[in-house]
Chains A and B, each alone.
Chain A
Amino acid sequence: MNGNVNSQNNLSADEIDASCRVPLLALCNCAALWLALGLALELLASLTFHMPEKFGGCAWLTYGRLLPAANDLLVYGFAIPAGLGVMLWIFARLSETELVLPLVPVIAAHIWHLGVFIGVVAILIGDSTGFAWLEFPRGSSVLLFAAFLLIALSAVATLGARRERALQPPHWFLLAALLWFPWIYSTANLFLVAWPVRGVAQAVIGWWFANNLIFVWLALVGLGVAFYFLPKFAGRTLPNYFAQFAFWTLILFGTWLGIPQGAPVPAWLPALSSVASALTVIPLIVIAMIFGKTVCGAKVHCKGGPFCYVKFGTVAFILATLMLIALGCPHFSRVAEFTWFAPAQTQLQILGFFTIVICGAIYHILPRVMNFELPFPRFVRVQHWFFILGIAFLILPLAIGGILQGIKLANPSFPFANSNDVAIQFLRVSTLGILFLLLGSLLFAANIFAMTFKWKIALLKSGIAAVTAPLETSEVKS
């Protein structure tokens, strides 16, 4: 079952998986913790709208600090490390070699999570940089950057050691992501935090960074993972030329999105973003076609398992990209800008697409890597339903409420308070959605922590056994 011996090579999948064990656990344990914590902070943040008085006394609990902390935990705390962990496993499997330099990602994981911890505490005490998705202070971002480079080193080395020289579609997406993050992260930190540029150029670079991180980077890694697992689960092959076309058009056009239409910048900047969002329809169509060709008609039932996760996540990506393209259209943006529609889109991208795809991938990978079954296999299905309900209750009301809020905002005969009154009803439902997501993430964390704990106990036991075992007499010198 778990011993796919490839007759051409000496390495079994077991050995490849085993080499990924420690790096994966190092990355994903803390990632699961940050996911739960991030969702808890997001729940607190949305509660500040429903009971503002209770949150008025403590600076740590003000919405303006809770929300950036929650968002950064979701992206830097969970999405990036978990995505990198899955990437390492996929590279090892596709290369049919063991993970090269396995200790490097382990050290990097600790550096990364230390950076996240410092960053989150800094935001809560008021030391954020003030830029969306880049709130971690200087020290933290140096740690994150270094850790990413170390993990990329191991990933590229594993890729370089591959037996089959031709690259597969997942390779392209994941490899591009390895270049993407260091470039955008270093640019943003150098131009905004270390040596800040003057004036509104800061905002432009901030928007460029946010788009390239939340849309492009998560799309590259999420689609790379999805394009590995969807054909695998469905028993089909991925259409190669479609994937090539999707890759090229996604990175060429998708990177130009992000400048809001009414921004206080010269007209050419929003115009370029608007053109790019029209062009992003192309990769969207192609990715939808790839999904259709790979999944539709495949007679595989997913039963709430990893296949369901990856399918749902990919559909969520298509919807999130549609929302992003709509925001690039000036007429729609006039209504939807500055409303809850934009946060709904980013949350759908991060939670609806990326988190769900990665959770599905980890649920598939972890038992193989640890070589024993999940401690709580029923949680997988329950979490699946929690996540679906959570996304539906979070995103739909935010999006609809946002549009209604925007309609009121665009009409000056309505007093400003009307737009908020309309939105608050929808916010109540979305708070419920976050609660469901939080419960799901706790189930996820339970599975991972229990697995790690079981493994550590087994390690301890085998360590004790090795130490107390009688020695071979031939080894004892007289």
Chain B
Amino acid sequence: MNDEPKISDSQQSAEPAAARSTVPMWIFSLTLVLIYLGAVYFDHHGGWFNPQVYSPYKNAEELDSYQPKSGAAEFIAQGKKTYDMICAACHGPDGSGKPGQAPPLAGSEWVNAKGDRRLAEIPLLGLNGPITVKGQPMNFSSGMAAMGAGLSDSDLAAVLTYIRSSWGNTGGPATADDVKAVRAIVAGHGAINGEQELKTIPE
């Protein structure tokens, strides 16, 4: 065997590492860059450890959007979308209201009334304060504009159905035909002024 090995590093006493054997900085930077990119990839494609998310779905919301929904659930989901866009700014995304700005909707007796006509008139016409909700008298610096006047019948019905069935509320659904009928009745009226006038409207 002619390739008799020379004494290797391992059979001598430990030598100081040569300067050029220091790991260059770019490898560390590359490692950090790859770790960051990997984290981004996992965020987009990993479904965040959800056992129901399989590729090609990226997350639980996307998977949920592809589920077949019954008509009612779809309607309420549509109402939620509109509510979040228009109403949540003042009434809160959880219907808890903002003191001085908007009364709560969660548990409100006005929302849970048996019929939906009185409730439908509020977004169609607008409402000025004061109003007592859940036993609490409330006053507001400015009133509510007719936020629902510009919505279509089915959109407004969806919002009403949503708020009447969320956050513990027990009111029944509202249909587009109901809203259409109320719209016809109140055509040309101005905003409702205070609780006194509100109480005169049939439920």
Contact = CB atoms under 8 A, between A and B. Distances in A.
**Does a CB–CB distance below 8 Å link A and B in the complex?**
yes
A268 B30 contact: no
A237 B35 CA distance: 31
Nearest to A307: B3
Contacts of B34: 278-279, 281-282
Contacts of B27: 245, 282, 285-286
Interface stretch (A80-88, A125-133, A164-172): A164-172
Interface in B1-57: 1-11, 13-15, 17-18, 20-23, 27, 30-31, 34-35, 37-39, 41-42, 45-55, 57
A224 to B, nearest CB: 12
A245 B23 contact: yes
Nearest to A270: B55
Q: Specify the main secondary structure of chain B where it touches its partner.
A: loop
Interface in A222-257: 228, 231-233, 235, 237-242, 245, 249
Chain A, interface residues (CB within 8 Å), range: 35 or more
B18 A266 contact: no
A262 interface: yes
A233 B3 contact: yes
Given A267-B53, A275-B38, A285-B27, A1 B14 contact: no
Contact of A278 (B10, B37, B49, B50): B37
A261 B41 CA distance: 13
Contacts of B21: 239-242, 293
Contact of B18 (A166, A228, A233, A239): A239
B1 A266 contact: no
A168 B45 CA distance: 41
B35 A305 contact: no
A367 B2 CA distance: 12
A272 B34 CA distance: 13
B15 A237 contact: yes
Given A267-B47, A271-B46, A164 B13 contact: yes
Interface of B: 1-11, 13-15, 17-18, 20-23, 27, 30-31, 34-35, 37-39, 41-42, 45-55, 57-58
6 closest A-B pairs by CB:
A239-B21, A275-B38, A271-B46, A237-B9, A267-B47, A232-B5
